[in-house]
Amino acid sequence: MMEIALAQLNYHIGNLEYNAEKIIKKIKSAEKLGADLVVFSELSVCGYPPADLLEFDNFIIRCKEKVEYIASHCNKIHAIVGAPSFNPEIKGKRLLNSAFVLHDGKIVSSYSKGLLPDYDIFDEYRYFQPADSFETIKISNKEIALTICEDLWNINERPLYVSSPMDKLVMQNPELIINISASPFALGHIKNRKKVMAGNAANYGLPLINVNQVGANTELLFDGGSLCVSSDGEIINELQYFEEDFAVIDLAEINKQDKPVSNTNLEKPSLLYNALTMGVKDFFNKQGFKKAIVGLSGGLDSALVLVIAANALGAENVWAILMPGPYSSKHSVDDAKELAENLNTPYDIIPITDTYNTLLKTLEHKFINTSFGTAEENLQARARAIILMGLSNKFGYMLLNTSNKSESAVGYSTLYGDMCGGLSVIGDVYKTDIYELANYINKKGIIIPENTINKPPSAELRPNQKDSDSLPEYEELDKILKLYIEEKIGKSEIISRGFRSKTVEKVLSLVNYSEHKRYQTPPVLRVSKKAFGYGRKMPIVAKY
């Protein structure tokens, strides 16, 4: 008999003291519950991703000390924690991405990761040498194949790596696979992850335990959802999504167990709402902020951000600022007020008209004999930003950015204007998904005014402006954007799929042209497999 505890926790990057105490507490809980082993996630001691903190020798030394400190609290029980370590070989990268087995007050064995993800938001080869020898570990007389995250993901028809650690580990006759991971959320990824874990279990004919971290680290959202899989590839147990969780399972029971799996709603709008809420909440917590400020236009994007922020931080901690300008319609202020009142968030109305007029006057002798254009539109968007940032600086509220992915993709936004903010909440959500989210939120009763949802989208920076004046309809736009950004399909192939060539050419050239603007945007909560930010690196000075 072997009782194994899965500890799915939210770590704070670099905060070794905090992480260590959290881990020790769960070791004690597991011990009390009679577990033989408690498993924590990949790089749990330092949090994932630690990024260039790994380049400081002192950081690696302190991580090692913390592992030893944790070990000193781990006597009867075994624990598996993740931490970086120095590569003992003279040749190769300086570090290894390691897992340590703790027992009897000390480190009793270790394993290092063989497959290092280096694509999209991953860059582990920047820091780590891939391990090339793999040994099972022995805990309570059981041989265990201990692996780290990507080690189990060499799965495509065209595998990304030339060999798999499991193929070597399986020769040593393990009875169980334990995989510690730091696997971030993206739409579609939960299904994918379950399939891969189930596939590994079935393929090797071994029960499998996967422990993931949870919580948001700036743009990366870790959804948890740790898994127990039977040796025939059935998901037996599934921990909570988007929150910390802890479970003790009996290894002997894995193959017969019929526990109810997680009842988390895995539909798209629900996932998006929970993921974004966790993203905002954790960003504020980890940055030491409590209060957010949002420019509320009366349109759908800022409405959605306000709802998510209120959900994450409490309505009383979110300040809505309504800033009508010369081209704002009457309904914009009314719709915005209605939303703030529905949510019970404090709000203020601060018109931009005086600021905008003063700017026009200041620039009059230069702008003379020119006609109204982008410059004047941008002055309005920037007047709003300067007011929001003034309030943010004065009262310590963090400004939330309200751009969606569709407009950010085509650059339909003003740099240093509506592109401002400490965090982009919906910058990875396409406009068509924004509507889905809004309807989901309103399901149990109207929160977002119907007029906000139903009116044609507009920036209201010139008379009677509509998004559709300069952009294709969002239905079509989003389809083209997904093919280009997420599927990485080029112009001619997109056109061959039935889109008008003029539209495709326009959209793609807008996306390419806007790289320089997106370079300066706030971090974007990542909910798709290809978000703007450091997971997508497109050259600025380029022609293609």
| CA 215/CA 534 separation, integer angstroms | 19
Contacts of 377 (CB under 8 A, 6+ apart): 414, 459, 461, 462
Q: How far is the CB of 485 from a second copy (least distance, A)?
A: 10
Residue 229 CA to residue 214 CA, distance in Å, equals 19
Q: Which two tokens stand for residue 423?
A: 């965090």
User: Please, which residue, 79 or 425, has the CB nearer to a second copy?
Assistant: 425
Catalytic annotation present for 149: yes
Tell me how far CA of residue 220 lies from CA of 124, 214, 310, in angstroms.
15, 10, 21
Q: Is residue 368 at the binding interface for a second copy, with CB under 8 A as the rule?
A: no
Q: What is the 3-state secondary structure (H, E, C) of 104-128?
A: CCEEEEEEECCCCCCCCCCCHHHCE
Q: Is residue 31 among the annotated active site residues?
A: no
Closest distance between a second copy and the C-beta of residue 95, in Å? 12
From the candidates 22, 26, 31, 42, which is the catalytic residue?
42
Residue 159 in the binding site for a second copy (CB under 8 A): yes
The two three-digit tokens of residue 191, written as one number: 């299904």
468 vs 496 by CB, closer to a second copy: 496
13 binds a second copy (CB under 8 A): yes
Looking only at residues 265 through 294 of this chain, which bind a second copy when binding is defined by CB under 8 A?
A: 282-283, 286-287
Is residue 65 a contact residue for a second copy (CB under 8 A)? Answer: no
Q: How far is the CB of 277 from a second copy (least distance, A)?
A: 16
Q: Is 46 one of the catalytic residues? A: no
Region from 195-203, 210-218, 232-240, 307-315 binding a second copy, contact rule CB under 8 A: 210-218
Whose structure tokens read 């007050």?
Answer: 105
Q: Is 58 in the site for a second copy (CB under 8 A)?
A: yes
SS3 56: coil
Q: How far is the CB of 527 from a second copy (least distance, A)?
A: 17
Out of 26, 66, 113, 281, the active site residue is 113
Task: State both tokens at 391.
Answer: 């309030």
Q: Applying CB under 8 A, does 520 fall inside the site for a second copy? A: yes
CA nearest neighbour of 219 among 33, 411, 13 = 13
Half-sphere exposure of 531 (CA within 13 A, CB side): 26
| Subset of 423-462 contacting a second copy (CB under 8 A) | none
State which of positions 374-393 bind a second copy (CB under 8 A).
374-375, 378-379, 382-383, 385-387, 389-391, 393
Q: Interface with a second copy includes 86 (CB under 8 A)?
A: no
**Using rule CB under 8 A, residue 119 touches a second copy:** yes
Residue appearing with tokens 């599927």: 487
Amino acid at site 411: G
Planar angle of CA 157, 162, 166, nearest 5 degrees:
85
465 binds a second copy (CB under 8 A): no
Which of 32, 76, 158, 444 contacts a second copy by CB under 8 A? 158
Exactly one of 363, 447, 495, 510 binds a second copy (CB under 8 A); that residue is 363
Q: Which of residues 20-49 bind a second copy (CB under 8 A)?
A: 47, 49
CB of 373 to a second copy, least distance (A): 7
Please tell me which residue in 149, 338, 377, 479 is annotated as part of the active site: 149
Among 36-44, 84-92, 261-269, 447-455, which window interacts with a second copy (CB under 8 A)? 84-92
Catalogue the long-range contacts made by 233-238 (C-beta closer than 8 Å, 24 or more residues apart).
233/198, 233/199, 233/201, 233/202, 234/198, 235/194, 235/197, 235/198, 235/261, 236/261, 237/261, 238/194, 238/262, 238/264
What's the start-to-end Cα distance of the chain, in Å? Answer: 61
- Residue 488's CB: how many other CB atoms inside 10 A? 9
Active site residue ranges: 42, 113, 149
